[in-house]
Amino acid sequence: MSRPIPACWATCPVHTRAHGYIALIAQRKFKEALALVRRDNPLPGISGRVCHHPCEEACDRRRVDEPLSIAYLKRFIADYELKTNPKMPSHVERTREEQVAVVGSGPAGLAAAYHLITKGYGVTIFEALTVLGGMLITGIPSNRLPRNVIEYEVDRIKALGVKMRTNVTVGRDISFNDLFKEGYGAIFLAVGAYDSRKLGIPGEDEFEGFLDCLTFLQRVNLGNMSKPGEKVCIIGGGNAAIDSARTALRLGCETVTIVYRRSRREMPANPSEIEEAEAEGVKIHYLASPLRILGRNGHVVGMECIRNMLGEPDASGRRRPVPVEGTEFTVDADAIIPAISQRPDLSFLPEDHGFTITRWNTFDVDPQTLQTNKKGVFAGGDAVTGPATVIEAVAAGKKAAEMIDRYLRGLELTAGEEESRPLVKLTDEEIQAIEKKPRQRMPKLPLEKRVGNFNEVELGFSEEAAVAEAERCLRCWTLTRP
Ligand SMILES: Cc1cc2nc3c(=O)[nH]c(=O)nc-3n(C[C@H](O)[C@H](O)[C@H](O)COP(=O)(O)OP(=O)(O)OC[C@H]3O[C@@H](n4cnc5c(N)ncnc54)[C@H](O)[C@@H]3O)c2cc1C
């Protein structure tokens, strides 16, 4: 039987060697720890801030007291380099003739480009916008993800030799055939999910003051600080809804309300973000659904809602919201921002594109290889999964690079699949023998200093806190099991 592996490593979609970098942090070898992260993930400062960290859910220290603060440790080593010795890597030597075109500069595209260039290929990223980073820069606000962190990590990928062509929409400004004619041997489509889902209720899109969350966040993130209104109502329960709400507050809007159809327990946004939003003054109406948008003289004036109770679980496994008759109520609002989900916007594809598209408007790929129905064209990230997470997009980019490498070498794509290995698990006796030691707390910007600016709220671990946290690791991977 193969040797068990630590759960933090196994459950990371990118298979970052968390157990290894944590051990190095405990020895104060921060540089080596960061180099270990970068073997798998070129975006440590970004993912150390916004990752939903499945590694922490799986950490066995949870059975003693609290799981290791793995994401914040990753952030610490990334910040440590940025603060003490920011350094660009040198150009990677080109060892392969072939070039690869990566479409989209979000985390999936950046990760694919990074892994392809380190394998010796020529790589060009084509980005439709004038800025690089995808949703990292147009979606996630800087109070959670400072721009200098994104710029640094993108610049490092550039420094390796990846060419980045902004303001080019593939499919419109340059066709897929042209890319192949220009000598690209393979294409990776990492175009994200930018089409906001409709609410499907009366009044939608009818009145001024109604705008979708991606338009709102992109506008603010690219520098337009105008308020959407004074009384802002947001619909949804994911990260985009919480970010929209916290952004509206920072712009100085008088009231910010979220309407979410299920209870807090089912809310998909990161629990800590929900807590922060409520602490900052966002009011959340749980168990309520919008019925109609109300308008007067062409402008939004509010929204009629109905209260729900929770019924049986639906296909997502979460309990279905069931409207309770006679519980209608109105929320006053002069701006309404739906943030209920997105799907890929594939309007850049020509009519005769020939790709197989799913009913969710995503690229239909072979899940094992990420290849589309077109030879040499691969796809990944939100464009395949629908709206998901940064770390899953990074994982897709890493996998696509491996598959493209195999494709360009003429190897079978599915060969060499990793076998799944059992996870290390401590025995109850071992867990009971461990001394309790709570995790280090993340210092935060005081509430009164958060309004009117987009300064980062989570301030990062000090060196001492990071080392102390790393020392909490149970080093479960060192245990030998029969
Ligand atoms: C507000 C908000 C908050 C979020 N918060 C979190 C969070 O806290 N944690 C987390 O893990 N995830 C979060 N997410 C989700 C996360 O941002 C996405 O899952 C992730 O960015 C997807 O990466 P991607 O590379 O697939 O696509 P994207 O990041 O969307 O990048 C796609 C890129 O492709 C470009 N593009 C599209 N079409 C073309 C074309 N034809 N030619 C050239 N370029 C093109 C786009 O301009 C874009 O730059 C959040 C999302 C939003 C909207």
* pLDDT tens, position by position, 296-326: 999 999 999 999 999 988 887 888 999 999 9
* pLDDT, tens digit, 9 for 90 and up, residues 223-261: 999 999 999 999 999 999 999 999 999 999 999 999 999
Distance from CA of residue 266 to its chain's centroid? Answer: 19
Q: Where along the chain do the CATH 3.50.50.60 domains lie?
A: 99-194+343-408, 198-339
For the chain, the residue count is: 482
pLDDT of residue 100: 98
Check the CA dihedral 20-394-389-136 and report its sign.
positive
Q: Average pLDDT over the chain, rounded to whole?
A: 94
Query: Which contacts qualify for 315-324: CB closer than 8 Å, 24 or more apart?
Result: 318/262, 318/266, 319/262, 319/266, 321/261, 321/262, 321/287, 321/289, 323/289
Structure tokens belonging to residue 103 = 């479409």
**Strands 288-296 and 299-313, how do they pair?**
antiparallel
Residue 358 pLDDT grade (very low, low, confident, very high; cuts 50, 70, 90): very high
Residue 22 pLDDT grade (very low, low, confident, very high; cuts 50, 70, 90): very high
Question: What separation in Å is there between the alpha carbon of 108 and the centre of ligand 1?
Answer: 8
Q: Cα angle at 209 between 208 and 214, to 5 degrees?
A: 115
pLDDT of residue 310: 92
* Whether pLDDT at 482 is above 70: no
Distance from CA of residue 359 to its chain's centroid? Answer: 23
Under DSSP, the state recorded for 226 is -
Q: Cα angle at 252 between 249 and 257, to 5 degrees?
A: 40
Q: Which atom of ligand 1 is nearest to the CA of 194?
A: 30
Question: What separation in Å is there between the alpha carbon of 189 and the centre of ligand 1?
Answer: 12
* Whether pLDDT at 418 is above 80: no
Q: Which atom of ligand 1 is nearest to the CA of 193?
A: 30
Structure tokens belonging to residue 358 = 């799913």
Q: Which atom of ligand 1 is nearest to the CA of 107?
A: 25
* pLDDT, tens digit, 9 for 90 and up, residues 45-90: 999 999 999 999 999 999 999 999 999 999 999 999 999 989 899 9
Question: What separation in Å is there between the alpha carbon of 229 and the centre of ligand 1?
Answer: 26
The verdict on domain 99-194+343-408 having CATH code 3.40.605.10 is no
The closest residue, in CA terms, to atom 2 on ligand 1 is: 240
Answer with the residue of higher pLDDT: 412 or 34.
34
Query: CA–CA separation, 245 vs 265, rounded Å?
Result: 19
Question: Which residues are CB-neighbours of 156 under 8 A, at least 6 positions away?
Answer: 42, 88, 89
- Residue among 239, 250, 258, 274 to mutate when testing ligand 1 (max atoms within 8 A of CB): 239
Taking the model in full, what pTM does it have?
0.95
* Whether pLDDT at 169 is above 80: yes
Closest CA to 213 of 239, 191, 249: 239
Question: What separation in Å is there between the alpha carbon of 386 and the centre of ligand 1?
Answer: 10
Q: Is 369 helix (H, G, I), strand (E, B) or coil?
A: coil
Contact present, 99 and 185 (Cβ < 8 Å): yes
* Whether pLDDT at 420 is above 90: no
* pLDDT, tens digit, 9 for 90 and up, residues 195-215: 998 999 999 989 999 999 999
pLDDT of residue 396: 98
Contact present, 262 and 287 (Cβ < 8 Å): yes
Contact present, 41 and 394 (Cβ < 8 Å): yes
Query: CA–CA separation, 308 vs 247, rounded Å?
Result: 27
Cα→Cα distances 183→109, 178, 187, 422, 466, Å: 19, 9, 11, 43, 47
* pLDDT, tens digit, 9 for 90 and up, residues 449-471: 998 899 999 999 999 999 999 99
pLDDT of residue 451: 84
In the chain, the amino acid numbered 15 is H
- What is the CB-side half-sphere exposure of residue 102 using CA atoms within 13 A? 37
- Residue among 52, 72, 127, 135 to mutate when testing ligand 1 (max atoms within 8 A of CB): 135
Query: CA–CA separation, 249 vs 434, rounded Å?
Result: 44
* Whether pLDDT at 285 is above 80: yes
pLDDT of residue 413: 87
In the predicted model, what is the mean pLDDT of residues 268-284? 93
- Residue among 191, 242, 258, 398 to mutate when testing ligand 1 (max atoms within 8 A of CB): 191
Ligand 1: residues with CB < 6 A are 50-52, 103-109, 126-129, 134-136, 139-140, 169-171, 190-192, 217, 239-240, 243, 270, 348, 381-383, 387-391, 393
In the chain, the amino acid numbered 114 is Y
pLDDT of residue 3: 77
Query: CA–CA separation, 451 vs 449, rounded Å?
Result: 6
pLDDT of residue 294: 96
- Options 1.10.1060, 1.20.120, 2.40.350, 1.10.3110; CATH for 7-87+426-478 is 1.10.1060
The closest residue, in CA terms, to atom 48 on ligand 1 is: 134
Q: Which atom of ligand 1 is nearest to the CA of 108?
A: 25
**Domain at 198-339: CATH code:** 3.50.50.60
- DSSP H or E segment with residue 176: helix 176-181
Question: Which residues are CB-neighbours of 321 under 8 A, at least 6 positions away?
Answer: 261, 262, 287, 289, 308, 309, 310, 311
State percent of the chain over pLDDT 70: 98
The closest residue, in CA terms, to atom 49 on ligand 1 is: 134
Question: What separation in Å is there between the alpha carbon of 213 and the centre of ligand 1?
Answer: 13
Q: Which atom of ligand 1 is nearest to the CA of 172?
A: 41
Question: What separation in Å is there between the alpha carbon of 195 and the centre of ligand 1?
Answer: 11
